Structure 1
Amino acid sequence: MTNLYRSTIIYPVFIVIFLLQLSTVFAQSFEAESGTLSNGANLQGCTGCSGANMVGNLGGPSNGTVVVPVNVSTAGTYTLTIYYCTADPRVIYVTPNNGNYTGINCAPSGGWSTVGNTSMNVTLNAGNNTIRLDNGAGGWGPNIDRITLQPTLTISFGSGNSIYYNLGTGKYNVYFNNNPVITDAYASANSNNIFYSHTGYTSRTYAATPVTDAFGSGTKHTITLTGSGLITMQQVFYTYSGKNYFFTEVLLTGAGSNCYRMAPLVADGVAIPGGGDMRALNVPFDNDAWIRYNAQSMGSANFTSAEVTGLYDNSNRNGLVIGSVEHTVWKTGVSVTGGGSGTLTHLEAYGGFTSNGVTRDLRGHGWVSVGGNSCKSPKIMVNYDADWRTAFETYGSANATAEPRYIASYTGGTPFGWNSWGAIQSSLTLAKAKAVVDFFANNCVNFRNSDNTLYIDLDSYWDNLSSGGLSGSFAQLTEFANYCKSKGLKPGIYWAPFVDWGKNGSATVDGTSYHYQDCWTKINGSVVDLDGARALDPTHPGTKGRIAYVIGKFKTCGFEMIKLDFLGHAALEADSYYDNSIHTGMEAFKKGMEYVVDQLAGTMLTYAAISPNLASARYIHMRRVACDAYKDISETNYTLNSTTYGWWQKNLYQYIDGDHLVFGTEPLAENRARFTSGLVTGTVLTGDDFSTTGAWTATAQSILQNQDLLDIARNGNGKAFRPVEGNTGDQPNELFTAAIGNYQYLAIVNYGAAAKNYTVSMARIGLNPSTTYGVVKELFTGALTSVTGNLNVTVPASGAAIYRIDKTVLQPMGMLSMR
């Protein structure tokens, strides 16, 4: 039977099925009082315990200990479940056979006569073994009622990583680097009833089949659960050769299997090795309403993060990232509940998440697989890494792999440009737009990307240049587009395809015979306004006809870039959709966005403003990480909060953008900070009113033509900088870094009202602290220095500095000079 529990071999030709009925895997139970007590451990009465007694006084100054003898017939891995009592959080140390101990967190059970349980995995020999329980750290452990042992299915992946699945209970533990990280995990599905993998099912069978997909060669591990009166459930795990992550999903199969909520991963315990500055990251669903990321202290965290969360120790950077890589059917939430001491007492990754304040929804999630005989959850990635930032970047890339772009890739250089909403806004005219073109063509000639390209983008109120609205003449828009091109620039335009700003009611939808009120999305029987705009059903032929009509006119004008806005309106959960095959907001979003992309037909750089963080990636080239930020340091603060905790979306999108870079009449320090926010995020889109002359024009001619600065975006191909730290709550990091070519860049932003001194460890930004870097250039001022170990610098109030560290020049600077 040994191989039954430890087989992880990939069989290329045939399916391997292991069948265990519950009758063959009953747990062996051992009372704690059957063990040998020492160092003050004693028996105590317990009305709720299995033998009316428990072992107490474990740990403490004398390290009270109990050693329980156990006997198993077969060597292998076993699930050890510890039944305990405690009124407060405690830790129990578990030592099998006098080997290495493992500390297990025990959440409060409800009191000293109320039994709780937790589990871990142990490797035992055939025959006699011992399990020692104590608390060698000097703290007090919980009181112990009993322990049980069950043989365990082992699914190994990567290096030192395993899923230990208990076929008897339907629960599993996950170990990374041979450390328990996720404990007592199970799956659930909400149909007409709620089904749990660990409740009611009486048979669980295991099958391993080879799989080859975009992630490589691996194994699909399927546990099929059946029981009288229950819909068949399947828990699925995907592992890949050499990959230190896995994917999991849950399915219901059979009549009545359609669901409105499915959770492939529910866990009653999560602990990240380390014990330093433990953080849990709350990720927004979109970039609307100035919402912020929040890296909360893990022990007190209590939130549902949209699509993904990160759990990590900011001190040593060990981290776990858990999130969905599929976004075309479900909205996913990851709920976390802190348990004190840097642990979680509950984690749930589930499809079916809605929230007015997060997903903007006013009703529950739609049902999935309506009318079908099988329903699948979103696929959840579970990824552990020695650096939580790398784990997030891997997650970003996995999203792009799992759901490849529907839109053809953009092949140009990092987008540089100007957008009218930064300053001109509703005052836009053809004369002003042409004057902006003239400014960049004649007075800011070196502000260009690696393709010598610059986009001039007309935002909302571009219809000031059209007579008669959408149905009227676009002659002035064509004139503007042609004027841009005559000056060597590229014209851009703006549109929100899924909203009715005018709430036009009985008016005819442009380009169709439908009325606007026919196309309005209905939620709870009423139309819905979000951000002041009425949502349109993305599946309605009137909405689609309008999209085809307007985009057709833009293409005829000759626009080469389009900024799409208010895309979240297309993702709202609705009472119903015109297309009766669509039942969820994300299904509607997919339908609408694919239609937009089809109409664009590869003619434009496609860019999104307000939009879902992850689901938009299939349909656009570039996405704004924060919306409606303009010029002062508070808006730079807001932008860089999104970059601090969302920089990894660069692995999902071709480019991410930090919103309008407006200089206005702000002090030089704030202008440097604002421009730094763009470079750190990856692209450069400015927004001043360059149709007139003011303080901003001189600032632009200086900063926007600083080639050392522009080379960051050019040579980095829009590469977003990593945050140096991840413990800033809902505030941004002050330090960001990126490796580009032979240079390591360090950006420092001081959001405070006073100058601030910084001591930056070279080791913390990925460099050798023992090396002397001989050429270190501050790019705003051109000042040169050298650095060994730490960089000491003072940054002005509300200001920024960007250092370029040449990694190839490793001697003192001396008389070295640079451009």
Structure 2
Amino acid sequence: MSKFLATSFRYLVISLLLLICFHPLIQGANKKIKNNNWEISYQPSTRTIDYSYKGQNILKGTFVKAKVNTTEIRSCDFKTTEIQKEKINDGVGKGKKYTITYSDGPLSNIKIEQNYYFYSSKEYFLTEVWLCSANEKITSNYIAPVYTSEKNSFLPQDSTNRVLRVPYDNDAFVSYLSAPLKEEGISFEVTAIFNGISRNGLVIGSVEHDTWKTGIRYQGENDRYITHLECFGGITHELTRDISDRSDRPSKEHGSVRGTRLKSPQIFVGYFNDWRKGMEKFGEMNAAITPPRQWNSGTPFGWNSWAAMATKVNYEGAVDVADFIKLELQPNSFENDNTIYIGLDSFWDNFNEEQLIAFARHCKENGQKAGIYWCPFSDWFGNADGFVEGTDQQWKYKDIYLYANGKPRKIESLAVDPTHPGTKSRMKHYIEKFKKWGYTYIKLDFINNGSLEADSFYNPDVTTGTQAYNEGMKYLSELCGNDMFMALSIAPVFPAQYGNSRRISCDTWGAMSEQGWGTTNYMLNSLSFGWWLDRVYTFNDADHILLHKPEEAENYKEGANRARITSAVITGIYMLGDNFSTKGSIPGSEEARRKAVSLVTNKEINEIARLGKSFYPVEGFTAQSPEKAESMYMMETNKYTYIVIFNFDITSVKEGCLDMRRIGYSPNKHIEGKELWTSTPVISDHKGLQYSVPSQDVRVYRIKK
């Protein structure tokens, strides 16, 4: 009898422990999760969830929306809800995980599990959704952890309210948009909805990029309301390059995942006093979940052949450029860690193999590192029956193409399957050759081809473009190793862990508008709203800058060139692009050399570039139109606050007084510093920093802390 009682007691204890650990925390009318300053409230009348922060409603009427096979389901159509809680300690930190399980829905074999992750040291939370099948495997190409069509308002009615569109990639001169809160649109991977004056704002986006392309659909109204917000995995769009009305570019919807438990992307949700800091926190969370590619050296300074030499890059000319930089620029502060990168862009095959080896050797003798260019997921020649390099004629190009509806996929070049052994053999063939020749920096272009959706992939376990991109880029990154700098050019914003840098916009080395240095304005649009990407890449890349173009002399005056240089040094990588050669088949000009010697040897400006950090906008809502750039940027170090002011106007001087409270200073605090291009002292009074910027020029103020 005593043995029976002991056994019964043991089972009772175990049962009680299980109840403590796994029993639903809250049942009945008021189901609430409270953690830090957030409250997640289940509303039984609508079966939806409200999010509030510090007692303020942020989003109400949210629910999960998804597609199971061909059927659309919503969590608000499920009748039974349970909430469970557990402690967590993962790569992000310590905290609590809450799981809301929805059952008894329109599909009897399906449950929805929504997880909420709260961390003790974080003022935001993460959420994700699992679609769970009781028995048979299911498919889905759409899961939205956050969906609401309620009329939400968490900002005052104000003309400075904005909603941010982040583009999927940087192809075709796409811009970021900081649009008034009264428009409909789609952002990719993340958005911010904020007030320009107070800077309060919501940041919401995906922090996982292994399977899905994430979209955020929004609808603003009357400079105040969000009447639709939908954050979901499964976006395809003309801006993901998957949808097109061109006959040579077939369209394809997002690939489907398959199994008995299907997971959405994990979504970051945060409400911040300063949306700019919120975007940086979003970047940091991405980096915590998937760490950036390792780089232990400083910011690359250097030169790239594409802007001026372009298709006519040649051995004698490139060697002469390297020597000019060695003799005239490197001794005068245009260097970092005593290193300069000299990069051959497309058409490096104008060189023969002997010249390619000799060029890399010559750069090394100059204290420089040689760079080269390649497109790992592109076939530019369209020879479908041609054999793939490095495959011993085992594969033809038509074997490795991606197909949509039976037709080869294409953005600018034909796209190849990142999971195909022929593609991987081709990668190995070229990367080993580049290394053998002596190249330690590689610019990788048009790699958005590798993220396209397709009818199928060689690897049967891969069913989405993002999965394929991850497989191909992981293999490429391993081939390059940590001793080769991987500079991503035309590429998706995410996944980010495969590049040491990524070009923040498209080509920016020439003027493309009547406003002179228009592409500098365009690049600064990307910096204005994408600066936070230096949290997920070691460096943002402003692209190589051009200082001399005889046929457009009016657009390349000294002031505009100062602005071009400044745009690069406050973004990240610092690359020149002029033809500085006096030899070879297309010699440049002495004027290009003179401008470089005059402008890129400013030691205090170059010190900013060595920091390798992107400046952020002082405001974020003052761009003249949604796709244009902010004119004021800032960055803080332990010693200084830097303020950069551009004047985009063609004729007028830009004058004003910056309220120092907007950069965190007391209005009566004494300010000491100087402007770094003119070496003039900072002028300040009780109102703030007085500035005067000539037309098409820039001023860089360095203020002592």
Q: Give the structure-2-normalised TM-score.
A: 0.90
Equivalent pair of 1:164/1:172 in contact (CA under 8 Å): yes
Name the residue aligned to 1:721.
615
Matched position secondary structure for 2:49: strand
Letter in 2 for 1:491: A
Q: Are residues 1:350 and 2:236 paired?
A: no
Name the residue aligned to 1:41.
none
Matched position secondary structure for 1:384: strand
Name the residue aligned to 2:669.
771
Matched position secondary structure for 2:238: coil
Letter in 2 for 1:283: V
Tell me how far apart the structure 2 counterparts of residues 753 and 593 of structure 1 sit (CA, whole Å).
43
Name the residue aligned to 2:216.
334
Deviation, 1:359, is 4.2
Q: Are residues 1:383 and 2:270 paired?
A: yes
Matched position secondary structure for 2:457: coil
Deviation, 1:171, is 1.1
Q: Are residues 1:492 and 2:371 paired?
A: yes
Tell me how far apart the structure 1 counterparts of residues 23 and 357 of structure 2 sit (CA, whole Å).
66
> Where does 1:736-751 land on structure 2 (aligned, <5 Å)?
736-751=633-648
Q: Are residues 1:454 and 2:340 paired?
A: yes
Matched position secondary structure for 2:230: strand
Q: Deviations over 1:745-787 (max 9, x none)?
A: 111111111222232111112222211113x211111112342
Tell me how far apart the structure 1 counterparts of residues 656 and 457 of structure 2 sit (CA, whole Å).
55
Structure number with the bigger relative contact order (C-alpha 8 A, sep ≥ 6) is: 2
Tell me how far apart the structure 1 counterparts of residues 284 and 327 of structure 2 sit (CA, whole Å).
41
Deviation, 1:202, is 2.1
Name the residue aligned to 1:734.
631
Q: Deviations over 1:445-465 (max 9, x none)?
A: 224444111100111011111
Name the residue aligned to 2:350.
464
Letter in 2 for 1:791: L
Q: Larger Cα Rg: Structure 1 or Structure 2?
A: 1
> Where does 1:112-131 land on structure 2 (aligned, <5 Å)?
none
Equivalent pair of 2:242/2:252 in contact (CA under 8 Å): no
Letter in 2 for 1:17: H
Equivalent pair of 1:292/1:642 in contact (CA under 8 Å): yes
Name the residue aligned to 2:52.
175
Tell me how far apart the structure 1 counterparts of residues 26 and 327 of structure 2 sit (CA, whole Å).
77
Tell me how far apart the structure 2 counterparts of residues 433 and 552 of structure 1 sit (CA, whole Å).
23
Specify which structure has the higher proportion of helix: 2
Name the residue aligned to 1:672.
562
1:783 to 671, 676, 680: 680
Deviation, 1:367, is 3.9
1:414 to 299, 324, 347: 299
Matched position secondary structure for 2:173: coil
Q: Are residues 1:396 and 2:283 paired?
A: yes
Equivalent pair of 1:19/1:204 in contact (CA under 8 Å): no
Letter in 2 for 1:660: H
Q: 1:341 to 1:636 in 2, by over 3 A?
A: closer
Tell me how far apart the structure 1 counterparts of residues 40 and 593 of structure 2 sit (CA, whole Å).
60
Deviation, 1:177, is 2.3
Tell me how far apart the structure 2 counterparts of residues 12 and 753 of structure 1 sit (CA, whole Å).
72
1:642 to 520, 526, 536: 526
Q: 1:545 to 1:590 in 2, by over 3 A?
A: same
> Where does 1:661-700 land on structure 2 (aligned, <5 Å)?
661-665=545-549, 666-691=556-581, 692-700=588-596
Deviation, 1:162, is 1.5
Equivalent pair of 1:366/1:573 in contact (CA under 8 Å): yes
Tell me how far apart the structure 1 counterparts of residues 347 and 669 of structure 2 sit (CA, whole Å).
55
Q: Are residues 1:655 and 2:553 paired?
A: no
Tell me how far apart the structure 2 counterparts of residues 274 and 205 of structure 1 sit (CA, whole Å).
35
Matched position secondary structure for 1:271: coil
Q: 1:212 to 1:735 in 2, by over 3 A?
A: same
Tell me how far apart the structure 2 counterparts of residues 13 and 395 of structure 1 sit (CA, whole Å).
36
Q: Deviations over 1:701-740 (max 9, x none)?
A: 12211100001121x2x11001011112211000000012
Matched position secondary structure for 1:190: strand
Q: Deviations over 1:594-628 (max 9, x none)?
A: 1101111223111100000121x110111110121
Equivalent pair of 1:492/1:560 in contact (CA under 8 Å): yes
Name the residue aligned to 1:195.
73
Name the residue aligned to 1:805.
703
> Where does 1:509-548 land on structure 2 (aligned, <5 Å)?
509-512=388-391, 513=393, 514-531=395-412, 533-548=413-428
Q: 1:477 to 1:271 in 2, by over 3 A?
A: same
Name the residue aligned to 2:12.
none
Q: Are residues 1:759 and 2:651 paired?
A: no
Matched position secondary structure for 1:421: coil
Tell me how far apart the structure 2 counterparts of residues 239 and 169 of structure 1 sit (CA, whole Å).
25
Name the residue aligned to 1:289.
172
Letter in 1 for 2:169: D
Tell me how far apart the structure 1 counterparts of residues 225 and 566 of structure 2 sit (CA, whole Å).
36
Equivalent pair of 2:190/2:205 in contact (CA under 8 Å): yes
Letter in 1 for 2:291: P
Q: 1:247 to 1:269 in 2, by over 3 A?
A: farther
Tell me how far apart the structure 2 counterparts of residues 351 and 685 of structure 1 sit (CA, whole Å).
36
Deviation, 1:695, is 2.1
Sequence identity, in percent? 35
Q: Cα RMSD between the aligned structures?
A: 1.8
Equivalent pair of 2:151/2:226 in contact (CA under 8 Å): yes
Q: Are residues 1:15 and 2:15 paired?
A: no
Q: Are residues 1:707 and 2:595 paired?
A: no
Q: Are residues 1:572 and 2:452 paired?
A: yes
Equivalent pair of 2:51/2:57 in contact (CA under 8 Å): yes
Tell me how far apart the structure 1 counterparts of residues 421 and 680 of structure 2 sit (CA, whole Å).
60
Name the residue aligned to 1:246.
125
Deviation, 1:176, is 1.4
Name the residue aligned to 1:98.
none
Tell me how far apart the structure 2 counterparts of residues 367 and 166 of structure 1 sit (CA, whole Å).
34
Tell me how far apart the structure 1 counterparts of residues 618 and 190 of structure 2 sit (CA, whole Å).
20
Equivalent pair of 2:252/2:405 in contact (CA under 8 Å): no
Tell me how far apart the structure 1 counterparts of residues 223 and 437 of structure 2 sit (CA, whole Å).
61
Name the residue aligned to 2:257.
369
Specify which structure has the higher proportion of strand: 1
Matched position secondary structure for 2:235: coil
Equivalent pair of 2:58/2:152 in contact (CA under 8 Å): yes
Aligned residues: 651
2:94 to 217, 221, 229: 217
Name the residue aligned to 1:481.
360
Q: Give the structure-1-normalised TM-score.
A: 0.77
Deviation, 1:169, is 4.2
Deviation, 1:19, is 6.6
Tell me how far apart the structure 1 counterparts of residues 473 and 690 of structure 2 sit (CA, whole Å).
49
Matched position secondary structure for 2:456: coil
Name the residue aligned to 2:10.
none
Tell me how far apart the structure 2 counterparts of residues 447 and 567 of structure 1 sit (CA, whole Å).
34
Q: Deviations over 1:408-456 (max 9, x none)?
A: x110011111111121111111101100110111111224444111100
Question: What residue ranges of structure 1 are gaps of 5+ in the alignment?
Answer: 1-10, 26-150, 467-473, 808-819
